[in-house]
Structure 1
Amino acid sequence: MSDDASQVSGLTAQAAQAAAQSLTDHSRAQLEQVVAAARAVLDGSAGHVADDAVRTALAAALSEADQALAGTVAPARAATLGASVSTAAAQVAQAQQAWQAAQTAAAQAAAQAAVRARAAASPTPTSSVDPCRTTYTGPPFWTSVPTATGDGSNGNLPASSMTALSWTTDSHGTRFYLLTPAAQALEKLNVAFRAAFGHNLDIDLAYRDYATQVAMRAALGTVAAVPGTSPHGYGKAIDVPELPCEYGWSSVQRAWLLAHGPSFGWVQPAWALQNGSGPEYWHYEYTG
């Protein structure tokens, strides 16, 4: 073989090796992304599925993927593991949605029973009413958890685009998720808030999936946004607790949030102000 032919053969082999390595790196990166999104689904679904078997299956699939990622994983093996993890994550997401739907139905039934009970009870004397009690009188709702299979539409955001807040959970122990830039900005705002008041900012609701928007509209009427239009569905809104003495119109904490929130990209929209079209002293949105 001539020197020229040898050089050409060597270059061809190097190119083939580089192409193979590129394919391996790409498939590994894809598997790592699938694993990260599925782990968020697993973490967020704890205690929120009727049968924990689906979470056990997802944990097993993730463990197998982690073991493979600890070394060199061939593209075909990465694809097989990714498909297994994605399927298990989708099953967990479906189980969690079913659980949330059942919880919402139970909450609506309880709320209707409470309304009937209040209607039958004697009015409470005004003098005995606590002025600092919550102003919310509807059924309970909880924050939503993003799924690995979200398509990015309102109320159907993928876990890969969201981040959970570090300092708080709802009463069920569920972490509050927001779009990652919004969560990062709120983390910084909370540091300043804690320095000013000695405690973290209280969160009542954050991300709201489409099913929850439908349930809230059914329970609360026009007080709730039309499903698919809520800023909560884009992971860009929070509600603080509806406690008038802590976060109400004349509270020191609300005044601080209005003054300092915009520096972190968080504001109270005009419609939610006291003279706005839908006053909500508890509602804040991320504008970037």
Structure 2
Amino acid sequence: MAVVAVVGGGAGAWAHVDHQERERAEQAALVRVDDAVGSRDADVALWGASDATVGRAVTATTRAEAGAALAALAEQARATLAASEGKVADDATRQALAAVLAEADAAAATPGPSAATARRVAATLGAAHATVAQAQVEWQQAQDAAAARAARPTTPSGGGTGSSGGTATGTPPSCRTTYDGPPFYTSPATDGGDGSNGKLPPSALTAVSWDVDPRGTPYYLRNDAAAALERLNGAFRARFGHDLDLDLTYRDYATQVAMREALGTIAAVPGTSSHGTGLAMDVPELPCEYGWGTPQRDWLVANGPSYGWVVPSWARQNGSNPEYWHFEYRG
């Protein structure tokens, strides 16, 4: 019995030690997970906004530090939200920031939010803040570009399907737009889009940096096509002294349907337009600027392929449906 008691006591002690070891291991695992989450959130926040306040928020180790850093970051975001009103192309970015800001305010109002909560909210708030700040910069760049274009005396106002279709005062008849249909405009990304033709989600598209359409909508293209067009535009600007003029880029499914109804077989069957893939652009239908044999079009035809932008065979002057204004990205 004594032996049994000794063995039983040893087993109990061993079980107690084992239990403590498991608890320590579990605690260490939780610390590692928390550190990993904090590191991930810190990266996201610092990528989104290289701001010292964000850095303090995502590296805070005490409740007091976390609350103070999060409150400071919220004030910066609030200032950006106010300053960007009416100065972004898509107000949904500001709405997203406002929603995250409300969450941050609620967390900061809690007496001593946990450091983990502060890290999570700060990462989200920092990214949303940076998105709005960048959208505001892009909006201002587009406004500046539009003003510069309007000031160019050699560029008639009006254009093709993406403009009002009007003619510029004093423009010779031969130089007026060749488009005489109802106005159509470029499309924003399709929220909730499934990636099919005319239904591309925001993650698939990028706005060009230098222009917006007459309604203020950015000219979106598929991410790789937009990057290539940015490079092409740089070379075009170096050659001609101004940015490439745009008329239409991405065209959502609803716009394709409307154009088919208005223009008949001239427009593509809805769901088949190359514009619906984010891989096509139209320059203005201004024959004296981009028409057959003009220096600007000839340069685009000759140099566009180096950047992946080509004229499809059907759109060439001897093609089945000549369109001097149409270009497509083939990579």
Query: Which TM-score band (shorter chain)?
Result: 0.5 to 0.7
Which residue, out of 293, 309, 313, partners 1:270? 313
Q: In 2, Cα distance between the equivalents of 1:185 and 1:164?
A: 12
Q: In 2, Cα distance between the equivalents of 1:216 and 1:262?
A: 28
With normalisation by structure 2, the TM-score equals 0.59
Aligned counterpart, 2:184: 141
State which structure, 1 or 2, has the greater radius of gyration over its C-alpha atoms: 2
Aligned counterpart, 1:219: 262
> Aligned partner of 1:143: which letter?
T
Give secondary structure in 1 for the equivalent of 2:173.
Answer: coil
- Cα displacement (A) at 1:23: 5.9
Q: Does 1:44 align with 2:89?
A: yes
Which residue, out of 88, 101, 104, partners 1:63? 101
> Aligned partner of 2:303: which letter?
H
- Cα displacement (A) at 1:60: 2.7
Structure 1 unaligned segments of length 5 or more: list them. 33-38, 47-53, 86-106, 115-127
Question: Is the contact made by 1:28 and 1:69 (CA closer than 8 Å) also made in structure 2?
Answer: no
The more displaced of 11-20 and 132-141 is 11-20
Aligned counterpart, 2:224: 181
Q: In 1, Cα distance between the equivalents of 2:318 and 2:95?
A: 52
CA distance 1:10–1:160, change in 2 (3 Å): same
Bigger relative contact order, structure 1 or 2 (CA pairs below 8 A, ≥6 apart): 1
Percentage identity across aligned positions? Answer: 51
Aligned counterpart, 2:286: 243
Aligned counterpart, 2:202: 159
Aligned residue pairs, count: 231
> Aligned partner of 1:11: which letter?
A
Q: In 2, Cα distance between the equivalents of 1:185 and 1:69?
A: 43
- Cα displacement (A) at 1:19: 3.6
Which residue, out of 255, 277, 286, partners 1:234? 277
Aligned Cα root-mean-square deviation (Å): 4.0
CA distance 1:56–1:167, change in 2 (3 Å): closer
Give secondary structure in 2 for the equivalent of 1:44.
Answer: coil
Aligned counterpart, 2:132: none
Deviations 1:139-197 (A, max 9, x none): 10111111442221111111122111111111112211111111111001000000001
Question: Is the contact made by 2:89 and 2:216 (CA closer than 8 Å) also made in structure 1?
Answer: no
CA distance 1:256–1:191, change in 2 (3 Å): same
Aligned counterpart, 1:93: none
Structure 2 unaligned segments of length 5 or more: list them. 1-12, 47-83, 129-160
Aligned counterpart, 1:12: 26
Q: In 1, Cα distance between the equivalents of 2:327 and 2:106?
A: 43
With normalisation by structure 1, the TM-score equals 0.67
Question: Is the contact made by 1:28 and 1:73 (CA closer than 8 Å) also made in structure 2?
Answer: no
Q: In 2, Cα distance between the equivalents of 1:19 and 1:221?
A: 60
Q: In 1, Cα distance between the equivalents of 2:99 and 2:214?
A: 30
> Aligned partner of 2:200: which letter?
L
Aligned counterpart, 2:235: 192
Q: In 2, Cα distance between the equivalents of 1:26 and 1:212?
A: 40
Give secondary structure in 1 for the equivalent of 2:174.
Answer: coil
CA distance 1:62–1:148, change in 2 (3 Å): farther
Give secondary structure in 2 for the equivalent of 1:280.
Answer: coil
Q: In 2, Cα distance between the equivalents of 1:188 and 1:254?
A: 17
CA distance 1:9–1:67, change in 2 (3 Å): same
> Aligned partner of 1:282: which letter?
W
Question: Is the contact made by 1:44 and 1:145 (CA closer than 8 Å) also made in structure 2?
Answer: no
Q: In 2, Cα distance between the equivalents of 1:65 and 1:150?
A: 27
Question: Is the contact made by 1:148 and 1:160 (CA closer than 8 Å) also made in structure 2?
Answer: no
- Cα displacement (A) at 1:206: 0.7
Q: In 1, Cα distance between the equivalents of 2:267 and 2:300?
A: 23
